[in-house]
Homo-oligomer: A and B are copies of this chain.
Amino acid sequence: MLIGIIAQESGFSRDTIRYYEKIGLLRLPKRARRENNYKEYSPAILSRLRAIKELKKIGYTLAEIQQVIASYETGGMDCIAGKGQVLEKVRLIEEQIVQLQTLRLQLLEAVADCPDHCKIAAILDDTLMVR
């Protein structure tokens, strides 16, 4: 199929598919062309795009996706090691959540006394001392 079709079927834009080819996430044989030089995308490429879509949904980066699919395709996919990596991702996410929650509290605190007392103005008073 042509790129417009596979774009439609996969839910990725043509530009995104070309980008994935450029970074090696998708591989098209050089001979996969029509007579007019248009690229012929096989159903296998569509499958791969669907895999990419699913993995992106659970937070995998493109680099990680490339790695996971490569392992899978060479039959060397190690669920134990994969679990370790996933748990590491979970840990990073938990860290992020804590940071966001801290930030949230700080912001709420900043406006708690508004308009009687404005913490942002206080910061600026303390640092700029211009008023």
Of B83, B107, B120, B128, which contacts A115 at CB under 8 A? B83
- Decide: A120 and B68 in contact? CB cutoff 8 A: yes
- Decide: B114 and A82 in contact? CB cutoff 8 A: yes
**How many subunits of this chain does the assembly comprise?**
2
Residues in A77-107 with C-beta less than 8 Å from chain B: 77, 79-80, 82-83, 86-87, 89-90, 93-94, 96-97, 100-101, 103-104, 106-107
Query: Residues on A close to B: CB < 8 A?
Result: 44, 47-48, 50-51, 54-55, 57-59, 68-69, 72-73, 75, 77, 79-80, 82-83, 86-87, 89-90, 93-94, 96-97, 100-101, 103-104, 106-108, 110-111, 114-115, 118, 120-121, 123-124, 126-131
